[in-house]
């Protein structure tokens, strides 16, 4: 059956990547994103568009920057995966260390990963000695407290992206830790998107009472974003064929490991767009205006996905190397981090760096 599903996926993607008149594959297209019943109302609408032609360097010499979250004053907190440091970064100033998390057990793709900010609290997703977990601490001081643990760890597929949604709940992208069966096990937090209260409990209104699971059937989620209408997007690493952009809805199953990409099986939700793994290996995601921006590692490019429909477009292909995180700042600018010091890229002078693209 898996072979049949892959064949169906290949045939369906032919529509997406039909050849242009010059004989080269046209970029994938996305239909206008449908409305989602019950989607939470957005807290902020930011229609401004970043100017991708005006890059500004915010910071250089970073050690595998991973998570990025903005503070109310417009500065950002940035996580260094391997060092366990959380840095405060703002344009025109040298980064300063806010805290180093001693419990981080870095190795492979694990370490200090996603960051999120809510009020005076800083939330961090990190790999510890026995698992992946989420802790929070106050910027004003105090020791970190673990609010959620028991997420399977491995040398790869640790997930790690966390973000507060427009409903005020904490969303968590996890990976399958290299064990495919975890993704379809509803009692296992691995291979899922979780929805938690700020205190780390299963959020009210989740599809299954008392469960933190929001959606399942994921391989390795490292990008989460919402548009101005409250629709949620999850960015998924594929295995050998297709990376995915998914419209995330409560209780839906996104198919892994039964399906990679579009599967032709009505039990599973299809991605709204997919790319070959050589062209993407996507990580972070952000929405600005009516465009979803997706940072690609192996593909070394920034994908733009028009949510009103149309062709996706690759920006900066090869220019900055591996791109890990993209985030929309409160002032409408777009921030982008490289990941060339992670052992898989070609390090350039000044890597790793953070770039900023001001709003038009």
DSSP 286-339: EEETTEEEEEETTTTEEEEEETTSEE-EEESTTTS--EEEEEE-TTS-EEEEE-
Q: What is the pLDDT of residue 45?
A: 43
3-state secondary structure of 12: helix
Tokens for 192? 């899922």
The answer to whether 276 and 293 have CB atoms below 8 angstroms apart is no
Check residue 27 and give its pLDDT. Answer: 79
Buried b (16+ CB within 10 A) or exposed e, 283-319: bbbbbbbbbbbbbbbbbbbbbbbbbeeeebebebeee
- List residues bridging with 110 in a β-sheet: 107
> Which one, of 75, 82, 117, lies nearest residue 96 by Cα?
75
Residue with tokens 């039909």: 18
Q: What is the pLDDT of residue 42?
A: 46
Q: What is the pLDDT along the chain (360 residues), one digit of tens a residue?
A: 333 333 333 333 333 333 333 334 577 888 889 887 666 554 444 467 999 999 999 999 999 999 999 999 999 999 999 999 999 999 999 999 999 999 999 999 999 999 999 999 999 999 999 999 999 999 998 999 999 999 999 999 999 999 999 999 999 999 999 999 999 999 999 999 999 999 999 999 999 999 999 999 999 999 999 999 999 999 999 999 999 999 999 999 999 999 999 998 999 999 999 999 999 999 999 999 999 999 999 999 999 999 999 999 999 999 999 999 999 999 999 999 999 999 999 999 999 999 999 999
Q: What confidence score (pLDDT) does residue 12 get?
A: 37
The DSSP annotation for 33-65 comes to PPP-TTPPPPS------B-TT--EEEE-S-SSE
Contact 265, 255 (CB under 8 A): yes
CA 264 to chain centre: 25
User: What is the pLDDT, as a whole number, of residue 39?
Assistant: 61
Largest CA distance in the chain: 62
Closest CA to 188 of 176, 170, 199, 206: 176
């Amino acid at each position: 059956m898996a072979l049949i599903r892959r064949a169906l996926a290949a045939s369906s993607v032919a529509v997406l990547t039909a050849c242009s008149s010059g004989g080269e594959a046209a970029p994938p297209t996305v239909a206008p994103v449908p409305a989602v019943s019950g989607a939470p109302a957005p807290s902020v609408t930011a229609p401004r568009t970043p100017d991708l032609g005006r890059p500004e360097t915010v910071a250089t010499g970073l050690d595998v920057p991973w998570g990025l979250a903005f503070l109310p004053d417009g500065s950002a907190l940035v996580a260094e995966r391997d060092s366990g440091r959380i840095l405060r970064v703002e344009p025109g100033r040298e980064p300063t260390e806010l805290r180093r998390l001693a419990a981080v057990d870095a190795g492979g793709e694990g370490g200090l990963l996603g960051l999120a900010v809510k009020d005076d609290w800083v939330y961090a997703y990190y790999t510890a000695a026995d698992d992946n977990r989420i802790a929070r601490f106050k910027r004003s001081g105090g020791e970190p407290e673990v609010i959620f643990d028991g997420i399977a760890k491995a040398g790869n597929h640790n997930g790690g992206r966390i973000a507060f949604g427009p409903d005020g709940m904490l969303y968590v992208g996890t990976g399958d830790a290299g064990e495919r069966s975890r993704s379809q096990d509803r009692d296992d937090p691995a291979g899922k998107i979780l929805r938690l209260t700020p205190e780390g409990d299963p959020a009210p209104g989740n599809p299954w009472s008392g469960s933190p699971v929001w959606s399942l059937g994921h391989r390795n989620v490292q990008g989460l974003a919402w548009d101005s209408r409250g629709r949620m997007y999850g960015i998924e690493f594929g295995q050998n064929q297709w990376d995915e952009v998914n419209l995330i809805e409560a209780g839906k199953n996104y198919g892994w490991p039964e399906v990679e990409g579009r599967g032709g099986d009505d039990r599973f939700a299809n991605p709204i767009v997919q790319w070959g793994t050589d062209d993407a290996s996507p990580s972070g995601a952000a929405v600005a205006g009516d465009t979803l921006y997706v940072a690609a590692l192996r593909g070394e490019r920034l994908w733009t996905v028009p949510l009103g429909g149309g062709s996706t477009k690759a920006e900066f292909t090869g220019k900055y190397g591996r791109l890990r995180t993209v985030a929309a700042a409160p002032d409408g600018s777009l921030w982008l981090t490289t990941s060339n010091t992670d052992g898989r890229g070609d390090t350039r002078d000044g890597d790793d760096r953070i770039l900023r693209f001001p709003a038009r």
